[in-house]
Structure 1
């Protein structure tokens, strides 16, 4: 995976944490759910990156 793909996974996770936090503070359950989904998306991208890196070596 490219460096950009690695960054994208981290960004998705951080964006998700921010959305979840704002959702909790404002009582916006939809935004909170979106944040959690973004975190999962970021985690999946990072996991896929680790698997691809393992096969490169």
Structure 2
């Protein structure tokens, strides 16, 4: 996995955690769900990159 991809995925996951926390703190269910979605997306990307690395 390229270092840029790792940084990007980590940033997306961190942003998702922040959104989720902000949504929870303010009672905004949509923002909380969006944060959870961002985290899941980052994790899926990481798994995809890990699989690519196995076949290199």
Taking only aligned residues, the RMSD between alpha carbons, in angstroms, comes to 0.9
Structure 1 residues 4-44: Cα deviation after superposition (integer angstroms, max 9, x where no partner): 11211111111101100010000011100110010011001
Runs of 4+ in structure 1 over 3 Å off: none
Q: Which runs of 5+ in 1 are unaligned?
A: none
Deviation of the 1:2 alpha carbon: 2.1
User: Residue 55 of structure 2 aligns to a residue in which SS?
Assistant: helix
Equivalent positions of 1:4-19 (< 5 A) are 4-19=4-19
Structure 1 residue aligned with 2:22: 22
Across the two proteins, how many residue pairs are aligned to each other? 56
Q: Which runs of 5+ in 2 are unaligned?
A: none
Residue 49 of structure 1 pairs with residue 46 of structure 2: no
Structure 2 residue aligned with 1:40: 40
Q: TM-score, normalised by structure 1?
A: 0.89
Q: TM-score, normalised by structure 2?
A: 0.90
